[in-house]
Amino acid sequence: MTFTDFLQLLTDGLVLGSMYGLIAVGYTMVYGILQIINFAHGEIFMLGGFGALFAYAWVPALHEISLWAALPVMLVVGVLVSVTAAVAAERFTYRPLRNAPRLAPLITAIGLSLFLQQVVFNFFTLPGESMGITAPVPFPQLDGGPLRLGGVTVSYAAILTLVVAAGAMTGLTYFVGRTRTGRAMQATAQDPKTARLMGIDTDRVIVVAFAVGAVLAAVACLTQGLRLGSISYNMGFIAGLKGFTAAVLGGIGNIRGAMLGGVVLGVAESLASGLLPHLPSLQMFGGSVWKDVWAFVILIVVLLIRPQGLLGERIADRA
């Protein structure tokens, strides 16, 4: 293990973590306003990838041009699919349960997850193939070999992930902090009844929170498809779990915390699975088999030390 190897692990972790952060924002925004965990968010993520792939597969014109040029079209379709699903989920499953006991929306979310997975599993169709999918579906790949920066290798897809995540976070910060709707969102998160007294339509704010989370999730799934070369109907499970972990790690309800939690999680995961094989007594814990375990080890450790998460406030501080 050289220093360059270490930098490589760090870079990979940063890329992975940016993607986790994009997913985490969706959990945290909805939680911040409604205090519910939208466990179907992993499937909203997955639908973004399938939406993008569907557009690519069924529009032959997109095969004639470079994938870079096709990406915006794929992104728009993926985002539309995710947002539609998220807004429909809010309208038809969460809103009717707004005043139900906490467990009801949670169980509903799990049911919704399975439903959305099965919809894709049974009905997603590629040209010339029968309806439904069984295995992971190949995702188009960007041309051009990986870049070498120093000794570190980075794919174009990885660079795209970093750029997109940075752009999305900048846009989101501006949106929440500077726009009228963003201010309405903060007010609704802090005190929903009083927000209504100000003239804020809080139902609309809730829809916007679901939609914004879905946009970022769709973006995240597109980058994962580009990086890993395939997507599958059940990819939302692990991705959702990681995004949720990142959100809790950063302090659920806190948007910057979600991104930070994602990065910390991604880097820790990458370092743990890359470094441990080189430590004599711990090598059995290294590698990809244990990769997903580290996320939760880190979560438990952080929550033991800082129950409110990295950037979260203690519940007592909340009005």
Partner 1 sequence: MTALLEVEDLRVAYGKVEAVKGISFSVEEGQAVTLIGTNGAGKTTTLHTLSGLLTPSGGRVRFAGQDLAGVPAHKVVALGLAHSPEGRHIFPRLTVEENLLLGAFLRKDADGIADDTERAYTLFPRLRERRIQPAGTLSGGEQQMLAMARALMCRPRLLMLDEPSMGLSPIMMKKIMATVAELKATGTTILLVEQNARAALSLADQAYVMETGRVVLSGSGERLLHDDSVRKAYLGEE
> Interface with partner 1 by CB under 8 A: which residues?
180, 183-184, 186-187, 190-191, 193-202, 318-319
Cβ 203 to partner 1 shortest distance, Å: 9
The rounded distance, in Å, linking the Cα atoms of 249 and 308 is: 8
Distances (CA, A) of 111 to 74, 120, 219, 288: 28, 15, 24, 29
The rounded distance, in Å, linking the Cα atoms of 251 and 257 is: 6
Residue that is written with structure tokens 């986790």 in the block = 20
The rounded distance, in Å, linking the Cα atoms of 23 and 190 is: 22
For partner 1, give the closer residue by CB, 80 or 260: 260
Cβ 169 to partner 1 shortest distance, Å: 20
Q: Give Rg (Cα) of the chain.
A: 20
Do strands 147-149 and 152-154 pair parallel, antiparallel, or not at all (unpaired)? antiparallel
For partner 1, give the closer residue by CB, 125 or 186: 186
For partner 1, give the closer residue by CB, 148 or 180: 180
For partner 1, give the closer residue by CB, 183 or 291: 183
Q: Which two tokens stand for residue 209?
A: 């929170």
Cβ 88 to partner 1 shortest distance, Å: 22
The rounded distance, in Å, linking the Cα atoms of 12 and 154 is: 8
Cβ 196 to partner 1 shortest distance, Å: 4
Cβ 319 to partner 1 shortest distance, Å: 5
For partner 1, give the closer residue by CB, 63 or 318: 318
For partner 1, give the closer residue by CB, 18 or 202: 202
Cβ 92 to partner 1 shortest distance, Å: 20
Half-sphere exposure of 294 (CA within 13 A, CB side): 21
For partner 1, give the closer residue by CB, 186 or 234: 186
Cβ 102 to partner 1 shortest distance, Å: 19
- How buried is residue 245: exposed, middle or buried, by Cβ count under 10 Å (0-12/13-18/19+)? buried
SS3 content of the chain, % helix, strand, coil (to 5): 75, 5, 20
